[in-house]
Structure 1
């Protein structure tokens, strides 16, 4: 399928992946393609024409080619050396094969046939042999070759995932949507149950319900004891890498230089973060270079070599029966577009972090394990379906308008097939969705006027991170008959995700990117050009199920001018969370194995911030036995404190985790408030709707006035959440009362209750989907707070209600986020419901602080660096109190804040804002503070004296 070969248009196939011999700087590998005049489709010609299929410019053959670094140049994969291989009894091998065959007994033969047609299938044995022979393998393959879904299955079939002891194949993904969708797809291919449908049961029932494939993402774990192929986000594997070390005393991170025998008693704490349940770790989409991906790469390198040293020591000591056998870890790094040599060289060289702390085993064994390695690079040639590329002849003046025209032209002129449009953000997606819905309603009239066949219906499906799994379900659902689905997505759909039915891709060539500036702590969200790597990834979305077409809203010359790869996140983000996680694993951020060394200023500021929060301390190392005492004397090391260990185990930013710990010390009510607020702030989308229409904006401001709290935005957001829960409780109570009246349709009553809540959200400009996402995060935070012994009043009330009034519960009542309990006027959410004023829930006793003093003080303990004092020299400006801020750096309160001077003036003014606390600084036309609350200057003095 292709566009007409008319004189006005130009086409070429998707840029193939450069071969190992091709220069890495080549911007257009498919140079032999004949030159035809470029398409002007973005300038909206009457229609696209179709004259039949186009021929391929360069046919790529299937198969695997191989190169390697660090001493080997042969393309033939060497057999595994005796020192690397494990001696496994024949009976165990036989039992393992039987178990593997039994696990795959439900595979559909049609799926097996489809998998065999993938380009990667011809290299299955070569991949398995390479993983067996080498510790680390880099796999580079085109989008659509099948590497992400097939390689984990190949390794499972080859016996890399054992039943006893548990050995899993872990697959990391940069994004949640990719991890969940890939797990579900692989589960289908292996004849396993859908992990997303795993019942909420525990114990033996959960084990029986789970299959071989599972996934783990933030706030959602869909794995069981049966899981052997585990898809997870980079953040989740990092949490497993932390292990139990964060709980251990700081002395454990400063071990003695004795032999391994003397450290075996404490090896449990050391080994708990070595991913011992994983035999293979696949780091997918490594080219995206997120901060977490870089952390995973560095930690995996150290863990791999440390496990090798521990295993060799165990073998040399005669395999002591009182010690658990430690296996070696295989690492596979793969992507469709990757600087393969750079990644291979990174894993081939010794680990700096392990060499800097050579205390876990015998130095000779450690040196041997940390020596140079051979790292082969496997190239998967070809893709299952070809993609025809189209560029605009002239740069588009307005890319959103060009995207609209392109989608409509594809819809009225091209054969059936869904469309994927890459856009920059949620606002642009919502705008284009409204425009498409408007134009699609006029298409029947246009077809009649032009005497053309009636076009198919258009189904608009947005896809961005804030939607959540349930809201994005229709993106992956089959397209209805006589309908064309148009998926409007951010770069979340750029990698690893296969959206069924996509044939056409429209690429704007832009993406939103956050940049953090150390020193000023200003975070800028800017629209910037994507890289050639990202452009190829986007184009590859069109050829997953059949031949496709990609329409780039930029010229071919512009493509050649793009950077080869994107800017690593590590050089443009706040490093505080990364430093805390590394220190929790006993790693020194200054000697860590970074693929790209982070900015020295940013790293130093992050360390100082964590010291200020009480998470880190600086200790002086004692002289080690047998070493030069003078050389070691005075050497400092960052050590995790008890508070830091607790912070590291909370899956939120260091500022939020410190605030949550401080709230727990102030009592259960404050702990509940801070926990709920963190859930709101951790959501990807605001719970308040901000209309772009000026008239709607005025209406929204009036509706939101009922929620405004005089202390600022934090309390206001919390009030919105509690008001929503109060309305939900009211609707549920009315529904329950109607059910007891007599013969009523239960489904109708429940639907009316939902509509009542939905109408309340619409009238008050509250985003219901965002609130539900907050409640989901809040539910997970409740579990985590219980685990960390942070008591909240709703948990205490729930225990009291269960112990005193269990007989009054209605077992038929559907479980919800907010169900009122009797006795104390507090429901399970901690929402006081006995008396309300202006729609705001008020307490029934003195426990609830209506001024949220404890809340703001707890937030200040975690955000002390974000406290600011009023600048007396300039009206309505503020300056941070921390010395790390650049001299003279002042800012204003963002216009969206309830404390903005214009809004205070409408309320009569008179409010003193001598000191404020904010969530973030952003730069648009100037620097603004967002999500602001007023604080007392005396609190700053108190915290300064305490520190």
Structure 2
């Protein structure tokens, strides 16, 4: 055991104690103190008031409301467990500070927006969708008279497309602001501008509240015109930090060993939360953990193994929040979705892989890559803190102290490492040029210019020098998709295959449809073979979804054919919403039947930057940037060598692999791609 971790607290008005990358001192903030009290987990009517009164924020309710009432913008640093996310919006509503408007509370992730809305609706004694509601992508559970609206940052940004002053809200709370998602960073500028314009035009004022457990408060305060900072004492129990003494080449195996050491020794109902990098890694761990648990059934408590990641169906995400059964331990295997957005009851042990999967964009090559890399120190402390929400806990770090010391202090904001095409398009739809937009941390100019060039190639803007939206660009902005896939759908309108392309885009919005069981690889391959298209992965996935959609017993169909029912179910929900959006946009739902050529032509219209050409040496070069890439082993085209392919993304794992690959006829490029890419293809000898 190396050290104990406990978040800073305010004692007798002293400055907050720093433990790890906690809040900075900087300005002299107002300081609130409240006494700790036992945590109430009850959800019955008789215990709700007791639970609310037990939260640290309750003791400073009136003083906090005074600060909120007196400041147009306020930054609240609320320690984990203080009750800021659930209680502060209710306090504002009870005091009627929102007046005739509504209160928007943003969350970085869908599962957090939903679970917090459900909790607050329960506390207020109303059905979700009435006074309290939520809005996430493809699901809006609100009414015209909803007063507390929990929504993802992306949804509020989409609302700003039609009303850049956000006039329906008098209070906007940007929660978990430290996560700095790309949408949150854009929202900082949008709400700041809306607040300023509403004040200048003497419209009803907009109050902005930023909340987090940890952030660079000086930086945030300076950006928001020296906004006052308030610290709330939380209720974080001590967490013992256990580190490995040597590096692990296979951290998944080390995690599995650690899980079952805890499982054999710890009392039942003390749950374990494991942080992994993505769905595939989680699903593999779920399978292995269930196998080992089955062998230990007689000598250890029952073990419920539960995955948690963004693409999981909503009811399955909520399953991890249910109280544990007697003599049963929950093992939750999660991505970084569980770092800050939700509190999982019963967790006493956290196992931190120290890794995260991040999407990074290289504006020089124009390529996106999904890369597994080390987390930041801030993330490490956030993960550790999950073990101390309900009592003393333990965090097992699968990395050494030396590896921890080499971690970056904070995660690089997403706005500075991602493809900005969607952001630039959304800003232009609001009449804002990204080059002059007031970003908190301005992304590299070359990234903005590259996004402009891409939008110009997509015919979404007139030109890079005149970044005004074309009619096509305005249509693209109505879809909650990457602009390239919005363009694919609009091309399908022209080509008469909207139903098929919408289905394909829905499938691509989730994770892998196929499942490979290590002990039954041959059986899985044989089952998958009946869906395979010689043209590649896109039509193969379309064939899988068609067969799934027509199956009477979908779960059994997936089991028999080694398919992922969760991902197919998720794709079905997205497909329904996209079809509704097409109808709303007066796009007729056409079908091309079995003609796969027009579907692949539509892909070129949006993904022309993702063309790759076979070279004499046997490898592929991307047409746009001349990067060496290879077809991923999971692709149905892995053992074939089409002269020209189009891909969905590049994943970097030692080498650059193309995923979601389909063969393309070079003649189609002249028909569907911009002139510049036709010329590049000709120069490479394919035209």
TM-score (ref. length: structure 1) = 0.66
CA distance in 2 between partners of 1:560 and 1:23 (Å):
23
1:158 matches 2:95: yes
Determine which of 145, 162, 173 is the counterpart of 2:107: 173
**1:66–1:376: 8 Å Cα contact kept in structure 2?**
no
User: How many equivalent pairs are there?
Assistant: 663
Residues 942, 29 of structure 1: alpha-carbon distance in 2 compared, 3 angstrom cutoff:
closer
Shift of 1:405: 3.2
> How far apart, in 2, do the equivalents of 1:290 and 1:675 lie?
26
> CA 1:859–1:13 in structure 2 vs 1: closer, same or farther (change >3 Å)?
closer
SS at structure 2 position matched to 1:481? coil
Q: 1:581 aligns with which of 416, 421, 426?
A: 426
CA distance in 1, matches of 2:16, 2:326: 47
Match of 2:578 in 1: 781
Cα distance 1:704–1:408, how it changes in 2: closer, same or farther (>3 A)?
Answer: closer
State which of 610, 613, 628 in structure 2 corresponds to 1:890: 628
Cα 1:896/1:509, change in 2 over 3 Å = closer
Give the CA deviation at 1:230. Answer: 0.7
SS at match of 2:462: strand
Query: Residues 13 and 923 (structure 1 numbering): CA distance in 2 closer, same or farther, change over 3 Å?
Result: closer
> Match for 1:390 among 231, 236, 241?
241
Within 1, Cα distance between the matches of 2:256 and 2:568? 31
TM-superposed CA distance for 1:541, in Å, is 2.0
Contact 1:521 1:921 in 2 (8 A): no
Matched, 1:933 2:662: yes
Q: In the TM superposition, what are the counterparts of 1:814-825 in structure 2 within 5 Å? A: none
d(CA) in 1 for partners of 2:173, 2:342: 16
* Segment drifting more, 770-779 vs 936-945: 936-945
Of 305, 310, 313, the match for 2:196 = 305
Query: Alpha-carbon deviation of 1:497?
Result: 0.4
2:509: which partner in 1?
Answer: 682
Aligned to 1:699: 523
Alignment of 1:867-906 (within 5 A): 867-871=611-615, 873-880=616-623, 882=624, 885=625, 888-900=626-638, 902-903=639-640
Residue 714 of structure 1 aligns with which residue?
A: 538
User: Where in structure 2 are the equivalents of 1:17-28 lying within 5 Å?
Assistant: 28=20
SS of aligned partner of 1:928: strand
Identify if the C-alpha distance between structure 1 residues 790 and 925 changes in structure 2 by more than 3 Å, giving closer, same or farther: same
Determine whether 1:855 maps to 2:652. Answer: no
Separation (CA, whole Å) in 1 of partners of 2:670 and 2:21: 63
Change (3 A) 1:766 1:427: closer
Alignment deviations for residues 761-780 of structure 1 (CA, whole Å, 9 cap, x no partner)? 23322222211111111111
Contact 2:15 2:25 in 1 (8 A): no
CA distance in 2: counterparts of 1:879 and 1:439, whole angstroms: 44
Give 1:760 shift: 3.0
Correspondences of 1:244-263 after superposition (within 5 Å): none
Deviation at 1:113, TM superposition (A): 2.1
Contact 1:14-1:389 at 8 Å conserved across structures: no
Q: Distance in 1 between matches of 2:593 and 2:62?
A: 66
1:439 to 278, 292, 307: 292
* 8 Å contact from structure 1 (residues 387, 550) kept in 2: no
In 2, the alpha carbon distance for the partners of 1:766 and 1:115 equals 44
**How big is the shift at 1:392?**
2.4
Distance 1:558 1:21, change over 3 A: farther
Identify which of 483, 493, 498 aligns with 1:671: 498
1:522–1:923 contact (8 Å) kept in structure 2: no
Pairing 1:277–2:168 present = yes
CA distance in 1, matches of 2:178, 2:466: 32
**Alignment check: 8 A CA contact 2:421 2:454 kept:** yes
1:601 is aligned to 446
- Of 448, 457, 480, the residue aligned with 1:612 is 457
Distance 1:610 1:132, change over 3 A: same
Q: Distance in 2 between matches of 1:865 and 1:29?
A: 40
* Residue 192 (1) aligns with residue 126 (2): yes
SS of alignment partner, residue 466 of structure 1: coil
| Conserved 8 A contact 2:126-2:132 | yes
CA shift at 1:68, angstroms?
A: 8.4
SS state at 1:566 partner: coil
1:81-480 equivalences in 2 (<5 Å) = 108=45, 110-162=47-99, 165=100, 167-193=101-127, 195=128, 210-243=129-162, 272-311=163-202, 326-348=203-225, 374-381=226-233, 383-392=234-243, 394-397=245-248, 398-415=250-267, 416-443=269-296, 447=299, 455-480=300-325
Aligned pair 1:16/2:15, yes or no?
no
Is contact 1:107–1:190 with CA below 8 Å preserved after alignment? no
Task: Tell me, in whole angstroms, the C-alpha distance in 2 between the residues paired with 1:463 and 1:308.
Answer: 43
> How many angstroms apart in 2 are the aligned matches of 1:404 and 1:66?
37
1:646 aligns with 2:475: yes
Q: Confirm or deny that 1:522 pairs with 2:367.
A: yes
2:239·2:388 contact (CA, 8 Å) conserved in 1? Answer: no
1:771 aligns with 2:598: no
Superposed CA RMSD in Å reads 2.8
Matches within 5 A, 1:489-504: 489-504=334-349
- Gap runs ≥5 in structure 2: 33-42, 677-687
- Shift in CA distance, 506/286, structure 1 to aligned 2, threshold 3 Å: same
1:775 is paired with a residue whose SS is helix
Give deviations 1:85-112, integer Å, cap 9, x for gaps: xxxxxxxxxxxxxxxxxxxxx9946322
Checking the alignment, whether the CA contact within 8 Å between 1:149 and 1:186 is kept in structure 2 is yes
Deviations along 1:534-578, whole A, 9 cap, x unmatched? Answer: 222222222333443333334556545432211111222111111
Cα pair 2:57 2:232 within 8 Å, conserved: yes
Matched residue, 1:758: 555
Secondary structure of the structure 1 residue equivalent to 2:283: helix
Asked if the contact 1:68–1:375 (Cα under 8 Å) also holds between the matched residues in 2, the reply is no
Give the drift of 1:300: 1.2
TM-score, reference length from structure 2: 0.90
**1:67: how far off?**
8.5
Query: Is the 8 Å Cα contact of residues 20 and 381 (structure 2) preserved in structure 1?
Result: no
Deviates more, 1:546-555 or 1:506-515: 546-555
Tell me if structure 2 keeps the 8 A contact 1:107–1:189.
Answer: no
Contact 1:148 1:496 in 2 (8 A): no
Secondary structure of the corresponding residue to residue 638 of structure 1? coil
State how far apart, in whole Å, the 2-side matches of 1:943 and 1:890 are: 24
Partner Cα distance (1:306, 1:916) in 2: 49
Aligned with 2:167: secondary structure? coil
Distance 1:929 1:433 in 2: 26
Q: 1:779 to 1:21 in 2, by over 3 A?
A: same
1:791 aligns with 2:588: yes
Counterparts of 1:552-591 in structure 2 under 5 Å?
552-555=397-400, 558-591=403-436
Counterpart of 2:40 in structure 1 is none
After superposition, what is the alpha-carbon deviation per residue over 1:220-278, rounded to whole angstroms, capped at 9, x for unaligned?
A: 111112311111111101100111xxxxxxxxxxxxxxxxxxxxxxxxxxxx3211111
- Kept in 2, the 8 Å contact 1:514–1:526? The answer is yes
Q: Report what 1:95 is aligned to.
A: none
CA contact (8 A) 1:15 1:29 kept: no
8 A Cα contact 1:707 1:720, kept in partner: yes
